[in-house]
C-alpha cells in the first residue's frame, strides 16, 4: 500500500516524505476526519511531527488534488482521499457523522443547474442532512 501512496505523490510532483505518507495513510484508513484527528493519527506513527507540519501537508495534498477538504455548514473542515468522482455527503445533524453518497444522477457534475449563468459547470457539491441510524435509534433522555 505504501508503494501506491508514494506513486500518487510522485504523480503530482510532490516529494515522498514520511509526514505526507502518514497523512495519506490516516485519511485512507479514516475518511472524513478533522485536522485534530489527523494530527493524532499521524502522531501514532510519527510522535514528533508538529501541528504545523500536518497543516502544511494537508494544504499541499489538497492543492495537488490528492485530498479533498469538505466543510459542511457549521462543522469543522474534514478531509478524505476519495477525489475526482464528484461524490456527495450525508451529515448527521446530531453527532456530525459523515458518509459518502455516490453521484446523485448520471455523470459529473451529477446535477444540471436550472440556470448556469453562462458558467461551464464541471462539479456539483451536495450535502444531505439528517440523523444517522445510531442517533435515531437512541431514546430521548427522560423517556423510557
**Residue 110 marked in a binding site:** no
84-137 has CATH 3.40.50.280 classification: no
- What mean pLDDT do residues 41-68 have? 97
Per mean pLDDT, which range of 19-23, 31-35, 98-102 is the poorest? 98-102
The answer to whether the beta carbons of residues 113 and 120 sit under 8 Å apart is no
Domain range list for the chain: 2-70, 84-137
Which of 10-19, 101-110, 118-127 is the most confident on average?
Answer: 10-19
pLDDT interval class at 120 (50, 70, 90) = confident
| Contact between 66 and 12 (Cβ < 8 Å) | yes
Interval 84-113: pLDDT, tens? 887 888 999 888 899 998 876 656 566 677
The residue assigned the cell 514520511 is: 18
- Who wins on pLDDT, 116 or 90? 90
Grid cell, residue 137, equals 435509534
The count of other CB atoms within 10 Å of the CB of residue 27 is 25
Q: Cα–Cα distance between 67 and 82 in angstroms, integer?
A: 7
Instruction: Give percent of the chain with pLDDT exceeding 70.
Output: 90
More confident residue, 80 or 128: 80
CA pair distance 26, 41, nearest whole angstrom? 6
- HEC sequence for 29-62: HCCCEEHHHHHHHHHHHCCCCCHHHHHHHHHHHH
Task: Name the average pLDDT for the chain.
Answer: 88
- CATH number given to 2-70: 1.10.10.10
Whether the per-residue pLDDT at 139 is higher than 80: the answer is no
Is residue 33 scored above 50 in pLDDT?
Answer: yes
pLDDT in the model for residue 144? 46
Identical fold, 2-70 and 84-137: no
Flag whether 92 is marked binding. Answer: yes
- Judge whether residue 26 has pLDDT over 60: yes
Residue 132 marked in a binding site: yes
Task: Tell me the whole-structure pTM to 2 decimals.
Answer: 0.82
Does 135 carry a binding-site annotation? yes
CA distance 37 to 85: 24
Contact 49, 19 (CB under 8 A): yes
Phi, psi of 49 (to 5 degrees): -65, 140
Amino acid at each position: 500500500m505504501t508503494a501506491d501512496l508514494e506513486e500518487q505523490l510522485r504523480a503530482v510532483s510532490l516529494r515522498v516524505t514520511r509526514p505526507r505518507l502518514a497523512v495519506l495513510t490516516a485519511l485512507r484508513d479514516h475518511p472524513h476526519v478533522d485536522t485534530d484527528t489527523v494530527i493524532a493519527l499521524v502522531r501514532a506513527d510519527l510522535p514528533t511531527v508538529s501541528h504545523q507540519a500536518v497543516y502544511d501537508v494537508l494544504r499541499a495534498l489538497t492543492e495537488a488534488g490528492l485530498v479533498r477538504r469538505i466543510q459542511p455548514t457549521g462543522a469543522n473542515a474534514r478531509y478524505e482521499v476519495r477525489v475526482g468522482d464528484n461524490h456527495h455527503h450525508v451529515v448527521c445533524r446530531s453527532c456530525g457523522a459523515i458518509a459518502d453518497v455516490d453521484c446523485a444522477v448520471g455523470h459529473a457534475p451529477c446535477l444540471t443547474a436550472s440556470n448556469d449563468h453562462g458558467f461551464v459547470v464541471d462539479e456539483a457539491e451536495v450535502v444531505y442532512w439528517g440523523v444517522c441510524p445510531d442517533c435515531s435509534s437512541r431514546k430521548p433522555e427522560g423517556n423510557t
